Amino acid sequence: MNELKKSIMVSLWFMFLTFPLMVIRVNTIENTVIWRWENMALIGIGSFVLSFVWRWAMRRKEAGDAVAASGEKKSGKLAELANNPALTNSFRAFFLVVFLVTPWLVTTYQTNILISFLLYVVLGLGLNIIVGVAGLLFLGHAAFYAIGAYSYALLNQYFGLGFWVALPLGGVIAALAGIALAFPVLRLRGDYLAIVTLGFGEIVRLVLENWSDLTGGPSGISNIPRPGLFDAKLSVADANIYIYYIVLALAIITIIAVTRLKDSRIGRALQALREDEIACEAMGIDRVGVKVMAFGLGTAWAGFAGVIFAAKTTFINPASFTFFESAIILSIVVLGGMGSNLGVILGSAFLVLLPEYLRAFSEYRMILFASAMVLMMVFRPQGLIPAKGRSYTVDDPELNAANGGRI
């Protein structure tokens, strides 16, 4: 009852606030005033419903928090299934087959969307190393994407290097740029680091835009060759499918590499850096080395993705690498779940595929985007799929005996 009263108060308050805007329309030419009472009713009902739903959701969230705090774990069927290796493997195989077959079943346009989805998976996983695992807030990822793309375009234009040579080179150049950025920002954390990396992203974009002699300025570089397949002449559609497979391979390699890194000695050092820098040093971890490594490891993937992006579009200009791009990649990581690889994949599916398939609502895209982010932060701050540390099992008969035979 109390909730109901509160919601009614909210809706009354909103009706009052929006009254001058939504209800009165003054026509100064004909000197008439139109009273649109139906708008007021709509706002009243709308805000009442929204406020009620909001309260209900908050109550549920609090109840959920209380359960979590009391130490009761909800290890449901889903968690059990996720721990079954045979099942997860067959899931993986299923998805692999789906992804392998898809380009032959859908149109070129849809293949293109899938390519950009996979590119964002690679970008997101790279950024995940920096933001999710090492805990460094990083807002300039698009700059390294650009560095990769421009490496290929420029190396091709000036030295005639092919795609397969440029692919590793682009990654290496982006990693070197990341390492170069890491040194001046070693002492920074949190917001300050975010500002510097944001600035770096803008610097890269502005250099590309203004160094017209080298980069072609705002008009960019065109006629970038697509990757060749043993001198075979491919039609545009076939070339697209070919690129799709390259990206798919890169994405799979990235997933494997990033997972392995996260579970290794290096990955543990990165996580320790996120948790506590001083304790990290006291435990014998070289803070500088590890931070530099985090930047290099994260930005290299952006470089690879950049090379493929350039090869796919055959034309690049600085407009593709704005701050908006960095923000999207960061949103993918945050929305998906910081530190969680599966989360990043889902996050990029959410942020890349949904807008494409919901083109009808494209005008409201940013509104939906923003409200999704806000709701996410309120109700599920750990992301769609929260990061789960690797669980180690130790085979110790004594412990098993102490626990009555169960681990």
Residues 6+ apart with CB under 8 A from 306: 144, 145, 146, 147, 148, 149, 150, 151, 152, 170, 174
Q: Which is nearer to other proteins, 38 or 286 (CB)?
A: 286
In the complex, minimum distance from the CB of residue 249 to other proteins, in angstroms, rounded to a whole number: 16
In the complex, minimum distance from the CB of residue 248 to other proteins, in angstroms, rounded to a whole number: 19
- Considering only 50, 257, 353, 376, the residue that binds other proteins (CB under 8 A) is 257
Q: Which is nearer to other proteins, 284 or 405 (CB)?
A: 284
**CA distance linking residue 256 with residue 227, whole number of Å:** 24
In the complex, minimum distance from the CB of residue 264 to other proteins, in angstroms, rounded to a whole number: 3
Written as six digits, the tokens of 193 are: 């680091």
Residues 6+ apart with CB under 8 A from 389: 271
Residues 259-318 that bind other proteins (CB under 8 A): 260-261, 264-269, 271-272, 275-276, 278-287, 293, 297
CB atoms within 10 A of CB 393: 6
Residue owning tokens 């098993």 = 400
Residues 359-398 that bind other proteins (CB under 8 A): 389-392, 394, 396
In the complex, minimum distance from the CB of residue 407 to other proteins, in angstroms, rounded to a whole number: 8
Cα-only R_g, the chain: 26
In the complex, minimum distance from the CB of residue 286 to other proteins, in angstroms, rounded to a whole number: 5
Q: Which is nearer to other proteins, 204 or 297 (CB)?
A: 297
**CA distance linking residue 124 with residue 112, whole number of Å:** 18
CB atoms within 10 A of CB 391: 6
Residues near other proteins (CB under 8 A), total: 34
Q: Is 202 in the site for other proteins (CB under 8 A)?
A: no
Q: Is 140 in the site for other proteins (CB under 8 A)?
A: no
Q: Is 236 in the site for other proteins (CB under 8 A)?
A: no
**CA distance linking residue 122 with residue 144, whole number of Å:** 13
In the complex, minimum distance from the CB of residue 182 to other proteins, in angstroms, rounded to a whole number: 15
In the complex, minimum distance from the CB of residue 359 to other proteins, in angstroms, rounded to a whole number: 39
What Å distances lie between residue 279 and 132, 265, 283, CA to CA?
19, 16, 6
Q: Is 249 in the site for other proteins (CB under 8 A)?
A: no
Q: Is 403 in the site for other proteins (CB under 8 A)?
A: yes
Q: Is 78 in the site for other proteins (CB under 8 A)?
A: no
In the complex, minimum distance from the CB of residue 382 to other proteins, in angstroms, rounded to a whole number: 11
**CA distance linking residue 134 with residue 274, whole number of Å:** 5
Residues 6+ apart with CB under 8 A from 232: none
Q: Which is nearer to other proteins, 106 or 283 (CB)?
A: 283
Burial of 36-71, coded b for 16+ CB within 10 Å and e otherwise, reads: eeebbeebbeebbeebbeebeeeeeeeeeeeeeeee
> Which residues are near other proteins by CB under 8 A?
257, 260-261, 264-269, 271-272, 275-276, 278-287, 293, 297, 389-392, 394, 396, 399, 402-403
